[in-house]
Amino acid sequence: MEISFVGCSEAKIIKTDYSEIQKLGFCKSNIFGGNKKNQLCFNFVRNWNKARIQLSFKPISKVYSSDKTMVERCLPEDQVQLFVGLPLDAVSDCNSINHVRAIKVGLKALKLLGCEGVEVPVWWGIVEKEAMGKYEWSGYLALVKMVQDMGLKLRVSLCFHGSKQVPLPLWISQIGEVQPDIFFSDRSGKRYKECLSFGVDNLLVLDGRSPMQVYQGFLESFKSTFSDFMGSTITVSQHNSCSLDLKKKMLFLMRISVCLVLTV
């Protein structure tokens, strides 16, 4: 998991770098077992005086209850909503949650740290893997319910491209074997088979349907499946470009990343 630091009006950090963070002990602990890649530290007080970090504290008159988290103790105007990225393979290619126990422990720790929520990619190649219009949301539904039980929010990125771990849907790859022009290609003619070409967006190249129609069906299925979890706040990535018309802007948002915040 990736974690960031929260800025608060009660303290002003004058100078810091990664080596100083290490001195404070944020990267050394046994909380997650023997795997050093997943370690996080809370016992940094003993190393605080050795680090070259200066803090300036201001007195406060308001008394806060001891059970409030770090983010809640920040002044409203300075409050930062911190979302931590879950592993890209949090939901496996088989539509099940990877490392369930580790994710549960991590979510609990993030809640105690005062994080607002977590972020996870939703892969087209997992949900609509077998056939066009056949959606399987079970893995992501289980993950959303897990996040809900911890009292956190969830930010979702809908990914219509592939990766080394998660390729495009199988039926897309099969069509690509017959019609390789649906994929991007470079000047030498080499195909990039992890994303459909923009040039075929409105062409009926996917068994009588266009990629835009397929994307629309995916989004509608997502909306109906997770409607019970959606709160009043839904945010979509905004990209300023006066040269793009509305349709191209929608395409760009859909293709690259559609970010939603689910209040769960």
Residues 115-120, mean pLDDT to the nearest whole number: 89
- The pLDDT score that the predictor gives to residue 105 is 94
Residue 250 located in a structural domain: yes
Using a pLDDT cut of 70, give the percent of the chain over it.
58
- State the chain's mean pLDDT as an integer: 72
Whether the predicted pLDDT of 83 surpasses 60: yes
Per-residue pLDDT of 27-70, as tens digits, reads 444 444 445 454 444 444 444 455 444 444 444 444 445 555 55
pTM given for the model: 0.62
Whether the predicted pLDDT of 236 surpasses 90: no
Residue 154 located in a structural domain: yes
Per-residue pLDDT band for 76 (boundaries 50, 70, 90) equals low
Residues 74-87, mean pLDDT to the nearest whole number: 74
Residue 133 located in a structural domain: yes
Whether the predicted pLDDT of 245 surpasses 90: no
**CATH code where residue 151 lies:** 3.20.20.80
Whether the predicted pLDDT of 254 surpasses 90: no
Per-residue pLDDT band for 259 (boundaries 50, 70, 90) equals very low
Residue 36 located in a structural domain: no
- The pLDDT score that the predictor gives to residue 137 is 95
Residue 34 located in a structural domain: no
Whether the predicted pLDDT of 215 surpasses 70: yes
Residue 252 located in a structural domain: yes
Residue 51 located in a structural domain: no
Per-residue pLDDT of 2-18, as tens digits, reads 343 333 333 333 344 44
Reading phi first (left if > 0) and then psi (alpha if -120 to 50, else beta), residue 235 is in beta
151/74: higher pLDDT: 151
97/61: higher pLDDT: 97
Per the structure, how many domains does the chain have? 1
Whether the predicted pLDDT of 225 surpasses 70: yes
Whether the predicted pLDDT of 264 surpasses 60: no
Domain that holds residue 249: 81-262
Whether the predicted pLDDT of 102 surpasses 60: yes
- The pLDDT score that the predictor gives to residue 167 is 93
Residue 213 located in a structural domain: yes
Per-residue pLDDT of 152-163, as tens digits, reads 888 888 899 998
Whether the predicted pLDDT of 201 surpasses 60: yes
- The pLDDT score that the predictor gives to residue 164 is 85
d(CA 83, CA 46): 28
